[in-house]
Amino acid sequence: MDLKIALLAGDGIGPEVIEQAVKVSDAIATKFNHSISWTPALTGAAAIDAVGDPYPEETHQVCLGADAVLFGAIGHPRFDNDPSAKVRPEQGLLKMRQKLGLFANVRPTFTFPSLLDKSPLKQERIEGTDLVFLRELTGGIYFGERGRLDDGNTAFDTCTYKREEIQRLAKKGFELAMTRSKKLCCVDKANVLESSRLWRETVQAMEKEYPEVEVSYEFVDAVAMRLVQWPNSYDVLITENLFGDILTDEASVISGSMGLMPSASVGTENALYEPIHGSFPQATGLGIANPLATVLSAAMMFEMSFGLIEEGALIRKVVDASLAEGVVTEDLKENGQKGNSTSEVGDYLVAQILG
């Protein structure tokens, strides 16, 4: 199969972890007789520095012309520390989601048997955890009307949703639940927010189309609590943009490291795959960034965009092997032990695939 993939390395550790995912993907292509055409493009702070736009039109055209997008990370501290900055790297991410129609963020959380003791939660609470969040990505408070009043002393951000935005996200949630344990949880704040009441009534109206799916409705604060008490009680969860942003980061530490969890953003024009961690600028160039989340994102890409299930499964298998053998970066090493470098982990994965 010929695969055309847009490569958006981004900022910070993005280029380093992307490099390892490319090495692993190329090894998979060699083993399974595929051909991958990689097309790099700028985004984030790197794009601002080059052309003044965090998501240039040239990058957008590269993404539109690709079968899938593999993305690293966005962000730089010089923008974080400047509240008056007019152009920010994160604007590129929002613009990319909107222009590519990436309305559903698929964020799995699962545990690795060899890393159960790395989680901040007790082993008996997390063992067997295998859940997926579907977070709505192109609506809500991040895209609503915002501004300042009273000479800048009052600020507002508006959370707005249309029924059709909720329906298309919920449809993916129901469909995913049908392939898993047939359990779906709608996360909202319907006791307070009108937008959440629209979420709840919309999902309730869709239940009859999926009679085999057991649907529950929980307030976001209750879910935040239960994620650290009984995460293995959840299967598929759907929620709006802001709630999903917060809850998925909370869920990500269950596995023991944010450097382990992949994600996909799917929509109307294309699909994008990325690690859930940020650009981690403090680690840039040090060779300590954990590439496994990006590598696992590539596994999701093979499976979801190309239907190459065996290829994705092999990537997961060699990642499990690296964890079991302790070929990992320092974030997963025991107290103060020296970890493998980012590239050494990538080289190990490639050797396992081609061995």
Query: Within the chain, which residues score under 70 in pLDDT?
Result: 336
Whole-number pLDDT of residue 81: 73
Looking at every residue in the chain, the average pLDDT score rounds to: 94
Encoded amino acid at 67, one letter = D
Whole-number pLDDT of residue 355: 86
Q: 3 and 67 in contact (C-beta within 8 Å)? A: yes
Side-chain-side CA neighbours of 249 within 13 Å: the count stands at: 7
- Structural domains in the chain? 1-105+263-355 (3.40.718.10), 120-255 (3.40.718.10)
C-alpha span between 18 and 293 (Å, rounded):
10
Whole-number pLDDT of residue 115: 86
pTM of the predicted structure, to 2 decimals: 0.90
86-124: per-residue pLDDT in tens?
A: 888 889 988 998 899 999 999 999 999 888 888 899 999
CA angle 171, 276, 352 (to 5 degrees): 105
Which residue, 109, 107, 133, is CA-closest to 121? Answer: 109
| Region label for 344, one of left (φ > 0), alpha (ψ between -120 and 50) or beta (otherwise) | alpha
290-308: per-residue pLDDT in tens?
A: 999 999 999 999 999 999 9
Active site residues: 142, 189, 221, 245, 249
Whole-number pLDDT of residue 259: 79
